[in-house]
Amino acid sequence: MTRHLPTIARVFLGLVFFVFGLNGFLNFIPTPPPAEGIVPFTKGLMSTGYFFPLLKATEVTCGFLLLTNRFVPLALILLSPIIVQIAAFHFVLAHNGYPMVGLLVVLQTFLAWSYREYFRSALVAKAVPASDVPGPSSSRQPVTVS
């Protein structure tokens, strides 16, 4: 069972972002009216004209990548600031939805840990340009830099 946990977590996280990202465009899930303190924040983001379409397109794309098991580390990286913002929004402004926020954070953290080998090269303190480092030519292998 434990060998299937990353797949289950990946598919569930992918479904969440794919469905809610699509909902941002198609509005098939009714949303309750926002609380009074949230309105200025959302109006500010909506007034930019680009933020919500970009956010929802990123959610749909990353959700699709997770569901299809393609470029999973990239999808996790792109979703990280979105999940941080969702958590901050609920803890600072909305004061609800804590179970879902907690689930997103746990799934993201678990998947990041499960795919940790692919993130090792991003955690190098003094990285050198790729042209100076001999490495594997395949993008399927994690790159390790000494």
Distance spanning both ends of the chain, measured CA to CA: 35
pLDDT digits (tens, 9 = 90+) for 102-117: 999 999 999 999 999 9
In this prediction, residues 28-41 reach a mean pLDDT of 88
Q: Count of residues for the chain?
A: 146
| Mean predicted lDDT score pLDDT of the chain | 90
Asked if the model's pLDDT at residue 140 lies above 80, the reply is no
The per-residue pLDDT for 124 is: 87
pTM of the model: 0.84
Asked if the model's pLDDT at residue 67 lies above 80, the reply is yes
Asked if the model's pLDDT at residue 29 lies above 70, the reply is yes
Q: Are 111 and 89 in contact (CB under 8 A)?
A: no
The string over 113-127, giving b where at least 16 C-beta atoms fall within 10 Å of a residue's C-beta and e elsewhere, is ebbeebeeeeeeeee
